[in-house]
Chain A
Amino acid sequence: MAMRELVSGGAACAVPGSSSSSNPLGALANSLIGSSSKTKERLEEIPTSTSTSSGRQFDEQYQPPQLPGSEFDRPFLQPGTQGSDFIGAFRSADHGGLADAWDEIQQHSHVAPPLPHPRDAEFQRIYDRGPAQPTLEGPPQRVLSNFLHSFVESSRGGLPFHPTPLPMLGLSERDKQCIRDRSSIMARHFFADKSEDFISAQVNALLSSLDIDSDVRAKGPQPAPVRELEAYWNESQGIMQPNSHATDGWVAEFGQQRHGDPNAWVHSFEQQHGSNGWASEFEQEQSQLASVDHMRGVNVANLAAMEQTRMLANTLAQNGDPKFQNSKFLQFVSKMSRGELIIDDNQVKPTSGDWATEYQQQYNAGPSWADEFTSHGPDRWVNEFASEREQQRSVDDKWIDEFSNLRVNDWAEEFENQVGEGALGDNSADNWANAYDEFMNEQIATKQHSDASKGIYVFSDMNPYVGHPNPLKEGQDLFRKGLLSEAVLALEAEVLKNPENSEGWRLLGIAHAENDDDQQAIAAMMRAQEADSTNLEVLLALGVSHTNELEQAAALKYLFGWLRHHPKYGTLAPPELSDSLYYADIARLFNEAAQLSPDDADVHVVLGVLYNLSREYDKAIESFQTALKLKPHDYSLWNKLGATQANSVQSADAILAYQHALDLKPNYVRAWANMGISYANQGMYEDSIRYYVRALAMNPKADNAWQYLRISLSCASRDDMLEACDSRNLDVLQKEFPL
């Protein structure tokens, strides 16, 4: 069945005995636009039902000045057909809403009795409290409003509402349905903190008093105004130039909209009905309520949306086409109407449990859902709609066909997708949590790593030098002899004995550095610096070790410290610089120092280290070579030159430099290990293995060397030796790879 028929109310659409319109799209428009207008219109019509069913006659008979919304009734009075009456009523609703009507009912009530509960002070203020015992007499309109008022009264104390005998009000089926719908909404609004059972009991009490069947789906004969709406709708569909027609502004607005700015339609829509209607009014009161009595509120707009979608679903459900009945769109709409789906931040979400709880969470979350909905929801919907319209500027008939052919499915898919996204969102929340865990673990790992780098010095377990009468002297001797690992033990004994001995820590740090263990070197040097913060050797050693660990910021800090504490160059270093160290500044300062005294090898050494930091290896090599001319017997300087050359892919040159270093200091573990690296970098893996093994024989704790040895063994296809490497069996390795 074409959507066109849905719209135009073709024969296929008509469902016999339907209380709703036989025109589903008309009803859609009705339910979307008329949420406020219809109610009031019906309130106005209620009294008329007692005598006749004509609104016009009612106006002639009875028009109390205090009647809610009566000031808008003028169009209602205009002579004409019943249809025009209806349209008039439709239009009259533009300016008000149920809220207005309701408020007025409240305001016209009488003196207030004492408050039953302190929190109701707010209620008092908002509702301008009415009488405890409403008069259930007088004109039907008054009776009804008082009766509804007493229903509201019952909400204050949370007291059960008891059915009350009422005079015949002569409500029409449509009126009844309207009251039923509204009262169930308002009941949820009032009794947010009550159970669903309580709410339905309250509503049922109200409805039974009014002789209204509580079956929501109750159907009666189709009321005349709906037919009128249908006719009206059809009429508007047929109009190409709506302005020329004598219909009211709604159609004009709509017609203009068709060729104009899509937002304007939204605005006019909102002006007429939406955001200024009873929903927002109630919302406002609701938020005031919430300030006194938190969580009492129910999102009225949410309910209104549900209500509207429920009506839409009803309307659509009456369509007999099985294809349409099975459509995802209809399923979506009915889910919406049952509250299984809600729209939140333009996302369709399934509501799992109690909608009230759901709402409370949203309510806590901050910006009100209603605002969200009114500011974004319709906007977006209409934008989508309007953009379709933009593409379809041709005759109205065409868009109906278009709509029926494409849009329903597209919509359904889109909603489906959104629901799917909602489900995905849940998954991604899990992912997020996992990612967060991973992140935390990484952070912890990094922290541990940086702790080690920051220098928690790790002492050896079994130290034969503990208790030695002069471990410092012993350590210095061992260091001089080149027995680095032994020297480390003796110096550890010294610093255990004299933790404040800067020289002990310094020599320990140097021993570790020469033993190719920068972590321990840094740890020891930091203790040395604590004891003597201006020791230039310590500062330089820290700068070098941090450079080796690729920690630029720390390296810069210590190298700058070296300059600042240098008796000759200290004046070059502006103290304010120490807050924010930039490589370029430090390098410039050291170049100045080098110009000041070009014969100071130390300045060139620091410059060489700095250029290593910035990976300017050519300059670094130059600096070290200059320094070596001044200090040719400094083995550590030869090693620095070699390492720089190696890192600059000049491994053959590096080996010559290392050879110099080893000639000067045969037990220089670092140089042996560097030697291995340089051979490996040249693809000479067999040779590299020998050097690694040699280095490890002198210091089995050099973890890096073990790792490199393994790589070289693999590259040399000596997988047979991997096990010896993994078990750190030096005897086997030394036998296999003698140097």
Chain B
Amino acid sequence: MGSAQLKSDQLLELMKQHLATDEGKDLCKKINLVYQIKIAPKKLGFDEVTYTVDLKKGEVLKGAYEGGKADATFSFKDDDFVKVALGKMNPQIAFMRGAMKIKGSLSAAQKFTPDIFPKPPVSKL
């Protein structure tokens, strides 16, 4: 199974299913950008797993974007990505703390908010 046991995997899998729904298609229409997300298990830049979140075609793929250059590329630690995606950490704060690195268009990066992620599994009381 290699190093591929990230907490983020579930979120990106959810994202994949989410993009197949009508809501997800609307999201693609609204954003219409391609993000590349690099997730490191423990330390930024080490053992990174790259995901392509294509909000043009509505796809989530493992691996680098092959259709050219992504509009923005983010680097996260696994935990930090979960926090940002679940809205537990503000992306701006994550960026300022160095928990998130951005390459590419800044205006594209600004559309990368927790809102684009579907609701994760909710534990029931």
Contacts and interface: CB of A to CB of B under 8 A. Distances in A.
Interface string B74-87: 00001000110010
A544 B125 contact: yes
B68 to A, nearest CB: 27
B4 interface: yes
Contacts of B5: 683-685
Contacts of B9: 683, 685, 715
Interface in A602-634: 609, 612
Interface in B1-23: 1, 4-10, 13-14, 16-17
A194 B86 CA distance: 70
A287 interface: no
Given A643-B124, A654-B123, A711-B14, A681 B4 contact: no
B125 A704 contact: no
A649 B1 contact: no
B63 interface: no
A640 B1 contact: no
B102 to A, nearest CB: 23
Interface string A640-651: 101110110100
Candidate in B8, B16, B121 with the most chain A CB atoms within 10 angstroms:
B121
A516 B10 contact: no
Contacts of A337: none
Nearest to A711: B13
Contacts of B14: 711
A656 interface: no
Given A711-B10, A715-B9, A715-B10, A683 B78 contact: yes
A272 interface: no
B82 A649 contact: yes
Contact of B10 (A544, A680, A717): A680
A172 interface: no
A711 B6 contact: no
In which size bucket is the chain B interface?
20 to 34
- The listed residue with most A CB atoms (<10 A of its CB), out of B6, B88, B122, is B122
Interface stretch (A137-145, A150-158, A671-679): A671-679
Nearest to B120: A681
A684 B124 CA distance: 19
Contact of A547 (B83, B120, B125): B125
A250 to B, nearest CB: 56
Contacts of A360: none
Contacts of B10: 680-681, 683, 685, 711-712, 715
A717 B123 contact: no
Interface of A (DSSP majority class): helix
A708 B125 contact: no
B26 to A, nearest CB: 10
A197 B106 CA distance: 67
A548 interface: yes
A670 interface: yes
Nearest to A543: B125
A682 interface: yes
Most buried by A among B4, B5, B88: B5
A705 B7 CA distance: 18
Contacts of B82: 649, 681
B123 A646 contact: yes
A612 B125 contact: yes
Interface in B76-125: 78, 82-83, 86, 88, 120-125
Contact of B121 (A640, A644, A670, A680): A680
A595 to B, nearest CB: 24
B13 A714 contact: yes
B1 A681 contact: no
B125 A649 contact: no
- Residue from B10, B13, B121, B123 having most chain A Cβ neighbours under 10 A: B123
A717 B124 contact: no
B94 to A, nearest CB: 14
Interface string A505-528: 000000000001010000000000
B74 to A, nearest CB: 19
A649 B88 contact: yes
A639 interface: yes
A45 to B, nearest CB: 67
A642 B123 contact: yes
A483 interface: no
Interface string A45-86: 000000000000000000000000000000000000000000
A518 B5 CA distance: 31
Given A683-B7, A712-B10, A548 B1 contact: no
A642 B122 CA distance: 12
A682 B7 contact: yes
Interface string A683-712: 111000000000000000000100010111
Given A547-B125, A647-B122, 9 more contacts: A609-B125, A643-B123, A649-B82, A649-B86, A677-B122, A680-B121, A685-B5, A704-B121, A711-B10
30 contacts: A544-B125, A547-B125, A548-B124, A548-B125, A609-B125, A612-B125, A640-B125, A642-B123, A643-B123, A643-B124, A647-B122, A647-B123, A649-B88, A654-B123, A674-B123, A677-B122, A681-B82, A681-B121, A683-B10, A685-B5, A685-B9, A704-B121, A710-B17, A711-B13, A711-B17, A712-B10, A714-B16, A715-B9, A715-B10, A717-B4
Interface of A: 516, 518, 544, 547-548, 550, 609, 612, 639-640, 642-644, 646-647, 649, 654, 670, 673-674, 677-678, 680-685, 704, 708, 710-712, 714-717
Interface of B: 1, 4-10, 13-14, 16-17, 78, 82-83, 86, 88, 120-125
The 10 closest A-B pairs by CB, nearest first: A643-B123, A646-B123, A683-B7, A715-B9, A640-B125, A677-B121, A674-B123, A548-B124, A714-B13, A711-B13
